[in-house]
Homo-oligomer: A and B are copies of this chain.
Amino acid sequence: RINGQRLISRLERLGEIGALPGGGCCRLALTEEDRQGRELVISWMYELGLQVSSDAMGNVFGLRPGTEDSPPVMTGSHIDTVRTGGIYDGNLGVLGGLEVIETLNEAGIVTRRPLCVAFFTNEEGARFAPDMMGSLVYVGGMSLDDALATKGIDGQRVGDCLEQIGARGSEPVGNPDVHAYVELHIEQGPVLEESSITIGAVEKVQGISWQEFCFTGTSNHAGTTPMRLRHDAGYAAMATGSFVRELANRIGGDQVGTVGALQMEPNLVNVVANQASLTVDLRNTDNDRLKQAEAELLDFIERLAEREGIEVQHRTLARFDPVPFDTDMIDCVEASAKAFGHSVMRMPSGAGHDAQMLARVCPTAMIFVPSVDGISHNINEYTAPEDLEAGTNVLLRVLLDLAG
């Protein structure tokens, strides 16, 4: 059994890097805070005797050799956060992995297959789109060059930032050879808590569509310009925001739709905006419905731009189909939870995760633990100590099962 207190100490220690005044933390990908976080986690990897390597995308791997020199069983997640992040999202998967390693070290257990604890670059996608960028490049789903050239919300490039914080490793990316991947994560939603269940055996990740729209209209005087003569880029952006809500409600089921980012120019009280850009995040477990939502959105934007006499530029920032996980792996998570006497349910994931990328190259599953009030990407994100411990014990058992 793992040591829950030790796990929590590490979570809290890592959470100090980029800590926010009211709690939670801000450790956006490839910032100075990310650099400090990486340094700390890598120092722990060395302390635990892991063989540390990193690749050209800044993904970091801590290997614990097995008795066999075969492809490792991998676990992990990410340590970057959003701007209003908690200390569990991502970090739990990485530090839970290290806690499993320390537990095995103490017990003197050597597995047949090697074990590997990884953390992947820029999972959140909050600074650089798409999300899960590091693991996507790792599995060959995006070229390294495209990833390095990606510009963030602050105009900086991934490649330059990787260099600046010294996170660009020497290992090439691509052709990963992994026996299986399992990732422990907080649910980040309300389902487990509402069902009073401790462990989620994640069956699939819903489809994710991130779209960016930039409207160009005509700046003009807010007092003198009659409504009928306006080409108001700001209005177009706000009308899109209202439409996204209406669209998600109309499609219903588990469809969600969010406009989380919006900027207007010149952004002054008495000037009709000439520029406005916004992002739309659409998700559904059913890809056909997700495609329907995307089509309706594009249709709305086209008619809106025509009616308002404004130009629109459109870019897809991320698009991932729903990803089903491996049934044997899901069974294994479920069985392990039951072996500890924990309540368990099968469920989809609403958030994107590195696991969905690893699923392209090896049998994959995820273990969820409850999020209090279903809150995440919020400084009040919280998971109870007993749930953190329960999830990490399930991780231990699944890893032992897979690594033999």
Contacts and interface: CB of A to CB of B under 8 A. Distances in A.
A78 interface: no
A239 interface: yes
Interface string A247-288: 011000011111111111111111111100001010100000
Contact of A258 (B124, B126, B222): B222
Interface in A334-360: 349-352
Q: 9 closest pairs, A vs B, by CB?
A: A238-B241, A189-B224, A224-B350, A83-B266, A222-B258, A269-B279, A238-B238, A223-B350, A188-B224
Given A227-B256, A235-B245, A254-B226, A377 B126 contact: no
A239 B227 CA distance: 18
A376 interface: yes
Contact of A189 (B129, B225, B237): B225
Contact of A262 (B220, B238, B239, B274): B238
Contacts of A255: 227
Interface of A: 82-84, 124-126, 129, 131, 153, 187-190, 206, 208, 210, 218-227, 229, 232, 234-235, 237-242, 245, 248-249, 254-274, 279, 281, 283, 317, 349-352, 374-379
Contact of A270 (B125, B220, B229): B125
Contacts of A226: 189-190, 254, 256
28 contacts: A83-B268, A84-B274, A125-B269, A126-B266, A131-B270, A190-B229, A206-B223, A218-B375, A219-B378, A221-B376, A222-B260, A222-B281, A222-B283, A223-B281, A223-B352, A224-B376, A227-B249, A234-B259, A235-B259, A239-B245, A258-B270, A260-B270, A260-B271, A260-B273, A261-B267, A261-B268, A261-B269, A271-B377
A353 to B, nearest CB: 10
Given A239-B242, A268-B261, A377-B272, A208 B223 contact: yes
A188 B238 CA distance: 25
A259 B126 CA distance: 26
A126 B267 CA distance: 9
A175 to B, nearest CB: 29
A82 B378 contact: no
Contacts of A266: 82-84, 126
Nearest to A269: B279
Contacts of A238: 237-242, 259, 262
Contacts of A208: 223
A269 B235 contact: no
Which residue among A222, A227, A237, A242 has the maximum number of chain B CB atoms within 10 Å of its CB?
A222
A253 B267 CA distance: 26
A271 B229 contact: no
Nearest to A248: B227
Given A124-B270, A189-B226, 13 more contacts: A83-B271, A125-B269, A153-B268, A189-B225, A221-B376, A223-B352, A224-B376, A225-B350, A232-B258, A235-B242, A238-B238, A262-B262, A263-B267
A49 B246 CA distance: 65
Contact of A268 (B126, B188, B223, B229): B126
A376 B187 CA distance: 51
A306 B113 CA distance: 57
A233 to B, nearest CB: 11
B245 A241 contact: no
Contacts of A129: 269
